[in-house]
Structure formats: C-alpha cells, structure tokens
Structure 1
Amino acid sequence: MKDYYHILGLTSTCQQAEIKKAYRVLAVQYHPDKNNGDRASEERFKEISVAYSTLIDEALRNEYDYIRGYKTTYRNLRTEPGAPSPVSYLTRVQRIKTQVLNAGGRINKTALFTVLNGLLNEKTITYLILQRDILTNNLITDEVFTCCVFLDEAAKATLYSSLEKLANGDPKFAEKLALRNKRDSTAQNFTISKPAESTDERPATTTILIFILFIVLFVILLAL
C-alpha cells in the first residue's frame, strides 16, 4: 500500500485542514488541463486524488493508519478527549490477537474467551453501533474472528452472537460468518490417519517370545 501522507507531502500526525490545503496545491499543479494532457502528470494527479479521498475521510483514515501501523494517530471526532472510542476498542482487540499469535497456540482458552466476551459486552456493542464507525467495527470483527480460531465451538458461538449484534444488520457480516463456519467445519473434518498400532507391536511381541523360548531351551540344556 502506498504512503498517502508522503504523496501529499505530509506526516501521519497532520491535521485534516493540512490535508485539504496540500491537496488543493498539488491538484492545481498536476491537473491534466494545466499540463497539456501530460501522461505523467495525469497519473500523479490520480495518485494525489486517491490519497486525498482516503485521508480526508475520518473513518477511512483510521483504517488506513491501522493497516499502515500508525497506532498513535487514530482519531475520532465524536468522542471527547480521554473517552473511549471505536478505535480504542480496536487497538485492545488487536493487542489481544497479537499476544495470541505470539504465543504460538500455547494459550489459556478460558482466559482468552473471558477477555473477549467481557470486551464485547452489551454496553460496548451498543456504544459502537451508535458511533456508526462501520469500518472500525468491521476491523474489530476481523480481529475477533482470528482469535476465535483457538477457541472451542461453544465459545465461538457466544462470540459470534455478539459480533452479529455488532454488525447491526450488515449483510457483509453474514458472508464473513458463513465463510468462517465453512473454514471451521473443514478444519474439524480434517483428520490425520494414525498408523495401525497392531502392526508396530507384532514384531516386538514376536521378538520377546523368541527370546523367552531361547532362555527356556538354554536352561533345559544346562540341566541335562
């Protein structure tokens, strides 16, 4: 993914007003009509337009910053300083997912479920829905789905129910859930065949019997 801040000549900590100002200057400079249809200028203008349309939108900028790893630049104008925001919940779930993946599967499933289930309580879900930050909510859903890979079916069902409430009727969630259930079903049906134990044990049993018979014959010969 391209660095949209660099394209506009800005840093990730810039204000929305700076984004608008930078776009206006660059758009005039590289507009095709100002450059006699120059192909390079046209491509540059398109690049500038994409960068601007992403960064000027609050939710899209949050998502872009998240993907790029600019964790300290998340913003949400609907909340007061110090108050929770959709992005703050996203970063909490993201940290949980990172810890789970770094554990290499050696996790306390009960503890993981308890943390996620507590995070997705009714109050939080209601708050996230009211904030209407659909993109951030979708990212939260994706992160929780990843964590659910390590949980049993009962725990997954509970969390999936909470995520369905968070989706608030979003048809894309149903598609995600169907795909996730399909993956889970495939994983459950996949079994690794075990070698027959009887085949491995027969040679060992035969060897022991032969050894015992040899000892018995040896004792008989000594007695004669």
Structure 2
Amino acid sequence: MTNYYKILGVTTTSSQAEIKKAYRLLAVQYHPDKNGGDKASEERFKAISEAYIVLGDTAKRNAYDYTKKQQKSNTRHNTSSQESTLVTFLLLFRKIKNSVLNANGYVNEQALFKVINDLLSDKNIESLILVEDVVAKNLMLDDILTSCMFISDSLKSILYPKLLKLANGDPRLVAKIELFNIKKSNLEDAKPVAIEEEKPSIASILLFIIIVFFILFMAFNKGV
C-alpha cells in the first residue's frame, strides 16, 4: 500500500494545515513547468498530487488510515492489494457522490445507475468482501446510498441484492441497506381512505319535519 505520508514528508500525527503546506512546497518544487519536461519530476508530481487528494481530505484520510492499520494486522490475506482496492473504491464512490450533490439537480439517472452498477460487479464485490475493515466499508456504503437517492426505485431494486452481498451479513450494514430498499410506492399506496358521510334515514327526515311543524304550530297558537 502506497505510503502517502512518506511521499509528502509528513507523519500520521501531522495536522491538515501541515499536510497542505507540505503539498504546496513539493508541488512547486516538482511542477512539470519548472522541470523542463523531466520524466522523473513529472512522476514525482503525480505521486504528490495523488497523496494530497487522499490526505488533504479529512474523510479520505480517515479511510486511508483505517485501511493502513488493517493492513498491518491482517495476516490471512494479501492485504496490500485488498486494502488498496478498498481505498480506490472508497475514493471513487466519494467522487460520484460529490459530483451528484454538486449537480444542482441535473443528474443523468441512467448514467449514474450504470457507473454504480458497473463498479458493483461480482468480481469487485468478492474482492471487497475479503477486506475486514467495516468502518471503511460503512463510509463507502453511505456514499453509495446517498448517490442512489437520485435514481428510481426500479433501478434501486437491481442494486439492492448487490449491496446485500457486499454487506456480507454485517447487521449494521444490512440495516442501512434494508432502509434503502423501502419503496416510495409503499408510501403512495397508503392513500387516505375517504370517509363516506352517513346518509340520514327516511324516518329521521320525517321526525325532523314533524318537530319543525310542531314548533311552528306552538309559536302560532301562542301568538294568537
């Protein structure tokens, strides 16, 4: 797993301000415009930019730290590639979510569904299941579900079994996905039932007429 802290020359305890300062200094030093097209400097600049994309954002940095810690403790799998995979997907889904939220409501539903559906292929899900970092998976799932708010229920139903497979039985992740699967149509079906007014019976009408006539009769006699 790439050591982004080492690339920027900072430590895991460095503040966001210190990371930003280190990035700016290195970016100026290795910027291609200042190195006459030197390939080594260009590659170095790319690595610096990639490191800052992750460490410069608090959420991405937290996810990176989680996966980096997991890599050291997990001895059963080839965690280096697996954790890198998790970080990659976490960044991808975070980018998708941010793009959707910043689209001012103009979202291509079919295109959004396709990119999420393609990323959640069986092969990718199987790779992600092997990673035991539930916290990072939780962050990724939040981003996916947020993006899915902008697609129809029919398309959500296609993603639902894939997300359940990704949860791999974790009760907290499954609970989130179950809420996601609640159909809007269920709410639409729950239409208020109109209460029919009870029509008065003929006997009630006749009784009312008799009472009115009786009152009028008594008033007339009293006046006489």
> If the length of structure 2 is used for normalisation, what is the TM-score?
0.50
Structure with the greater alpha carbon radius of gyration: 2
> If the length of structure 1 is used for normalisation, what is the TM-score?
0.50
